[in-house]
Amino acid sequence: MKDGAKILVRTCANVQATEKVVVVTDSERIEIAQAVSGEAEQIGAQVKIVISPERSIDNEEPGTAVKEALFDADVAFLPVTLAMAHTRAVREAITKGARVLSMTAFTKRMMREGGLFTDFRARQPFCQSLAARLSEGSRLRVTNPSGTDLTMSLVGVTGNSHACLLDGPGFSAVPNIEANCAPTQGTAEGVFVCDGSIPYYGVGPIRHPITFRISEGFVTEIEGGEQARFLASLLAEQEDLWVYNLAQFAFGLNPACTEFTGEMLNDEGVNGTVHIGVGTSANLGGEVSAKTHFDAITQAPTVEIDGGVVLSEGKFLTDA
């Protein structure tokens, strides 16, 4: 896994000698954490591996020891089984100047092949241009052949370019490459049909399309097969209205991510797809902190911003 660790440490996180690096992990990802740690140590960084206490759901706040380690870090890598990216602890670490690289549910395969081995620097300008379109637009509509027809306001929105490169304080997941935003709160209306993947909570690639009915920025119904019923039950158990918040819209932009594998940061990056995030929006420019956050990906989408087509049935009209 050394080649993958070298990309993560030297290219994505731009780790420098003498920097304080923390690698937050758990027992399932310890070998990946050790590979990343070893590469950072070779550069001369001060490296600490912190084992996260067991958590029950993606994006649940971590324990005190993890929070303190994040607050003290110049660079943080998060090869964890349950997502930690959309937590208050990560948000506050970034505010203190940290560069945070999310590696949720990373696998050994992902360290050896696939999306991690794309040219992030070459893809960055296109990712930035789509983020700018989200910032400059006022209204977005997404449709797809499975029945998606969802609109949302972009007024006051700031688009985020997450191109897997951290040149300064901030956050990116890897290797998905995405341009995203938190839509104007309370404005999303319509239907989103997930026919790709929900790489959270063990759901994975979709066997029967899951329909999300959305009104005033909240998911009001989740319909479909067994996976839909599982997801609806899981969210209801949280007893938190905000877990239904329409938190995110994102384009998947990694040309080396070509199929849904169930690996979170592969599936979210499949080129030419889009996904919505539901739950916490605060780490994306929104204001909502919920008990959890998950993403739902759809295939062959058409996206219009202010009436101009950006993506047509999964094909970008302009590209880098």
The pLDDT tens digits for 180-238 are: 999 999 999 999 999 999 999 999 999 999 999 999 999 999 999 999 999 999 999 99
pLDDT in tens, 129-146: 999 999 999 999 999 999
> Which pLDDT score, from 0 to 100, does residue 81 have?
94
Predicted confidence band of residue 319 (pLDDT cuts 50, 70, 90)? low
> Which pLDDT score, from 0 to 100, does residue 320 have?
43
pLDDT in tens, 15-50: 999 999 999 999 999 999 999 999 999 999 999 999
> Is the predicted pLDDT of residue 121 greater than 60, yes or no?
yes
Q: What is the pTM of this model?
A: 0.92
> Which pLDDT score, from 0 to 100, does residue 286 have?
94
- Per the CB < 8 A criterion, the answer to whether 127 and 161 are in contact is yes
Where are the extended beta strands (E) located within 138-240? 139-143, 149-153, 160-162, 170-173, 178-181, 189-194, 197-198, 204-205, 210-215, 218-223
Q: Residues 311, 130, 156, CA angle at the centre, nearest 5°?
A: 110
Helical residues (DSSP H) of the chain, grouped into ranges: 2-6, 30-43, 64-71, 88-95, 108-112, 120-136, 226-237, 264-267
pLDDT in tens, 161-183: 999 999 899 999 999 999 999 99
Nearest to 245 by CA among 276, 275, 202, 224: 276
Nearest to 314 by CA among 149, 142, 188: 142
pLDDT in tens, 249-277: 999 999 999 999 999 999 999 999 999 99
pLDDT in tens, 211-222: 999 999 999 999
